[in-house]
A = this chain, B = another copy of it.
Amino acid sequence: EDVVVSGVALDKNQAKIAVSDLPDKPGSAAKVFKALGDANVIVDMIVQNIGRGGAANLTFTVSKDDVHRAVEAVEKVLSEMGGGAANYVGDIAKVSIVGVGMRSHAGVAATLFSILADHEVNIQMISTSEIRISVAIDLADADKAAQAVHDGFELDQ
């Protein structure tokens, strides 16, 4: 597949919440997101990586207005589950490149990550799909990063 990166998207209204020491067994993630759904929290990125010793960390982002409601809803369900902690980590910006054929190219990801590295932007989260690679970065780097990615992939205005 030829890769065609057709655009850059930037969302500066997100906050990152980390759920740590979640029991790594069926049902845990369902309970956390049911609590968020019931609290009418709009969730954007959901990222879970490798678990260790029976516990997993799960990170998600919400719009800044929903942070306190989200943390409250998750802490309540975690105490019912008898494990884990939820923390508001900070405000992030989500920078995404969108296009076709992204999935099969480690090279496209490497290009995006190199552009960010050249501008001293640290990557906090990564989430990919067939047509999109998204990274969470410090909110303070948002505009610089979006401009650098836009120029780096030579996208039209």
Cβ A123 vs Cβ B48 within 8 A = yes
Q: A113-B30, A117-B27, A121-B26 are in contact. Are A49 and B47 (CB under 8 A)?
A: yes
Assembled-state Cα–Cα distance A42/B105 (Å):
6
Chain B residues in 8 Å Cβ range of A123: 26, 29, 48
Cβ A57 vs Cβ B48 within 8 A = no
Q: Identify which of residues 109-140 in chain A touch chain B, using a CB-to-CB cut-off of 8 Å.
A: 109-110, 113-114, 116-117, 119-134
A10 is an interface residue with CB less than 8 A from chain B: no
A interface residues (Cβ-Cβ under 8 A, vs B): 18, 20, 24-27, 29-30, 33-34, 36-37, 41-51, 57-59, 89, 103-107, 109-110, 113-114, 116-117, 119-134
